[in-house]
Amino acid sequence: MSKSSDAGHFFQTTSALNETARKAQKAKNKKGNPIKLPSKILAVVSDPKDGGHVFVAEAAGNVKRIKLETGDILATYSGPTAPLTSIALSPTSDTVFAGCWDKTIWSWSISSRKPSRRFQGHTDFVKALLALALQGKELLVSGSADATIIIWDIASGSKLHTLKGHSRGILALALDPTPSSDSNENEEEVIFFSAGTDREIHRWTLTSSSAAEIPSTDDVPSPLIRHETSIDSLFFDADADADLWTASKDKTVKCLSRATNWEEDTSLEHPDYVLDVVVDEVGGHVVTACRDEEVRVFDKGTGKLVHVFSGHYEEVTGLVLLDGQKVVSVSIDGTVRQWSLKAPDLAKAIQEAEDERAGKGEDKVEEKKESLLTAEEEAELAELMGDSD
């Protein structure tokens, strides 16, 4: 007897059917110039060699390099049979890395697309990656659901350090852009931050030969606890202080101020889990990705909501900010979308949204939506509605 995976062949509640119909209708929209891929997209990074391209990680186990202007897939990096959750690009070599549910980190030559070294050492999903160069040595930092951070020597593939401090899985890593005060001529030092499902933010020092957690001081506790639950993303802005922005499942984005020893400076409320955040310094915007399918734009100075970009029809899983005030968003819906933050474009988007809410939009759903019922079903429904009177 054959088996079907078609949801339509199984019993579904009315609410489930309505939700399926809503998403099917919304999927027709062309907002953000969607580039459709065949699988859920879990992460995105920009191509540092060409701002018109991005790399995305798919649940189907592929990394793809995409040309945004045309939507062309320029390269596919394959091999894994499990979802890829995170991506990092080597700062000096021709290599792309991807963290995987199979507990390993895959790598490929960007130009040849051939698989390269595979890093094995974690005991659970790899959820976050960070690649950097330190005194001529390429290092890879990986965070896992096993609550550990591993520092790898990229050239040899060897494990240099295993860092423990988190009590639960790690979801985000971010390199502090401010030079460490402890760096000297003999040994350069950098600081990176980590966060995850234990709601803690840990700070770590890293040199070419050592790694350790920064201990508590009278001014700054370790770890930092600023959220009620999981932290999905960490992002340092590009202003003079390089403050830290955090996105959490407690439905907030917070700005932690360096000047006040990482105390909360701003909190942006959302209706659902917040999964990513980026900051556009040129326009003074904070852009967030939310499980409710929306990409929100806030005024960085006032915290006021400026605009909501609606287009995705599943949760938005990642954002990347490109030169020219362009934000790229990716989603479980399998689409890559682009949004302009330039003042004239943002003003136009705001006006179009207002017109649509007022019923003047060209793609007003109520006017163009086709019935999901057959003529017989509509007649039966009309009869039932008449009986209820």
Q: Token digits for 375?
A: 């003529």
H or E segment to which residue 223 belongs: none
Q: Which of 288, 255, 262 is nearest to 273 (CA)?
A: 288
Judge whether 216 lies within some domain: yes
Judge whether 156 lies within some domain: yes
Return d(Cα 68, Cα 187) in angstroms, integer. Answer: 40
Judge whether 207 lies within some domain: yes
Judge whether 377 lies within some domain: no
Q: Which amino acid is at 270?
A: H
Judge whether 42 lies within some domain: yes
Tell me if the pTM is above 0.85: yes
Domain of residue 170: give its range.
29-366
Judge whether 1 lies within some domain: no
Parallel, antiparallel or unpaired: strands 224-225 and 200-206: antiparallel
Could you list the pLDDT tens digit for every one of the 389 residues in the chain?
A: 455 555 555 567 888 888 889 899 999 999 999 999 999 999 999 998 898 999 999 999 999 999 999 999 999 999 999 999 999 999 998 999 999 999 999 999 999 999 999 999 999 999 999 999 999 999 999 999 999 999 999 999 999 999 999 999 999 999 999 987 766 667 899 999 999 999 999 999 999 899 999 999 999 999 999 999 999 999 999 999 999 999 999 999 999 999 999 999 999 999 999 999 999 999 999 999 999 999 999 999 999 999 999 999 999 999 999 999 999 999 999 999 999 999 999 999 999 999 998 986 444 444 334 445 556 655 655 555 554 44
Whether 208 contacts 188, CB under 8 Å: yes
Judge whether 372 lies within some domain: no
Name the CA radius of gyration of the chain, rounded.
23
Q: How many residues does the chain have?
A: 389
Domain of 208, CATH number, reads: 2.130.10.10
Judge whether 19 lies within some domain: no
- The number of distinct structural domains making up the chain is 1
